Amino acid sequence: MANISTRFFGLDLKSPVIAASSSMTGHAEQVIKLAEAGAGAIVLKSIFEEEIYHELQEELSLRSKINSDPEYLDYFDYVIKEDTLRKYLLLIADVKAKTTVPVVASVNCVSSNDWMLFARKVEEAGADAIELNMFICPSDVTKTEVNNEQFYFETIQKVLQVVKIPVSIKISHYFSNLAGIVNRLSKTGIAGITIFNRFYSPDIDVNTLTVVSSDVLSSSGDYLLPLKWTGILSGQISCDLAATTGIHTSETAIKFILAGASAIQVASVVYNEGASAITRLNQDIAAWMDQKGFQTLADCKGALSQTSAASQAWERSQFMKYFGEKAF
């Protein structure tokens, strides 16, 4: 059988199928199931600074001194952060004691300073690597692209200064020069970049006239944007590349490998099918490689990337011929 081992997060992985950060990876018993199903690595549920802040505000709203005493605010800020961190470190230690699959701590960065402490602590707890789940919605009209981009570089630099384990990042596509920024980020010393993270998106209920949450899970067609950029970026940046979002079928997983991804991160398909989805993806990737005569993942990785295939199809932005011939 074909060898599907790969390398991502600066780690050697037995499989390119990674269990992405989600509520499923926030409990030790679920993590063990994902590891037993053949996941190449487990990215634990992210620590979200926004959630810590929200919890702090809820706590203060129950008290009589809401925001009136700075020392009172600082006290609860400290207590809540310490409790969140303590639970996360216990999860890392518990999982590491029960499985040999690489465990990756995930931190959602909004401000950069507090996460230096978190990075050091998760390393001490035994995490094999850190994924910085980074996202800034460029919605502030007073900020320039330079303001937004600087946050990424400053945070990465600070984290790399305080830990020895590999650090990777997961980013969105919200950049004015996506290829350029990914190339620059890849040269900061990080071990890998995952494209693209999936965050809350609002929708509108036309009956109640309210803003509501859209579907949390991805759909099988959501893979096209990260696939395009995997094909474009592969072979042109200085670190390993992984992809996520919309990877529900084995065929889609194989497409990403051909486009140049070293690994894929999955969550929605596991929500829908259970941990067995990872086993299925691994088996189907190996079977396809056997059928095509590929002995290792490296033999086929990037075979159809823009660099390897010398094709301009990845950069095409217009439908051109299709709509010119389409009859209605």
Residue 151 buriedness (CB in 10 A; 0-12 / 13-18 / 19+):
middle
Residue 269 buriedness (CB in 10 A; 0-12 / 13-18 / 19+):
buried
CA distance 217 to 262: 23
> In a 3-state reduction of DSSP, which class is residue 319?
coil
Q: What is the pLDDT of residue 55?
A: 45
Domain span including residue 293: 6-325
Is the residue at 97 inside a domain? yes
Is the residue at 231 inside a domain? yes
- Helices (H), ranges, the chain: 28-36, 49-61, 70-98, 114-125, 145-162, 178-186, 224-233, 250-259, 268-273, 276-292, 297-300, 306-309, 321-325
| Domain CATH for 60 | 3.20.20.70
Is the residue at 1 inside a domain? no
Q: Long-range contacts for 182-186 (Cβ within 8 Å, ≥24 apart)?
A: 182/233, 182/237, 183/233, 183/236, 183/237, 183/238, 184/153, 185/152, 185/153, 185/156, 186/237, 186/238, 186/239
Beta partners for residue 47, in sequence order = 107
> In a 3-state reduction of DSSP, which class is residue 19?
strand
Is the residue at 273 inside a domain? yes
Is the residue at 245 inside a domain? yes
Residue length of the chain = 328
Which residue ranges of the chain lie beneath pLDDT 70? 48-81, 109-114, 309-312, 316-328
Q: What is the pLDDT of residue 47?
A: 80
| Backbone Cα Rg of the chain | 21
Residue 76 buriedness (CB in 10 A; 0-12 / 13-18 / 19+):
middle
Cβ 4 vs Cβ 298: under 8 Å: no
Domain count along the chain: 1
CA 238 to centroid of chain Cα atoms: 18
Is the residue at 175 inside a domain? yes
- In this prediction the pTM is 0.88
> In a 3-state reduction of DSSP, which class is residue 109?
strand
Is the residue at 157 inside a domain? yes
Q: What is the pLDDT of residue 56?
A: 46
Is the residue at 23 inside a domain? yes
- Average pLDDT of the chain, as a whole number: 87
Q: What is the pLDDT of residue 145?
A: 83
Q: Which backbone phi and psi does 204 adopt, to 5 degrees?
A: -125, 130
Residue 208 buriedness (CB in 10 A; 0-12 / 13-18 / 19+):
exposed
- In the numeric block, the tokens 């639970």 are attached to 87
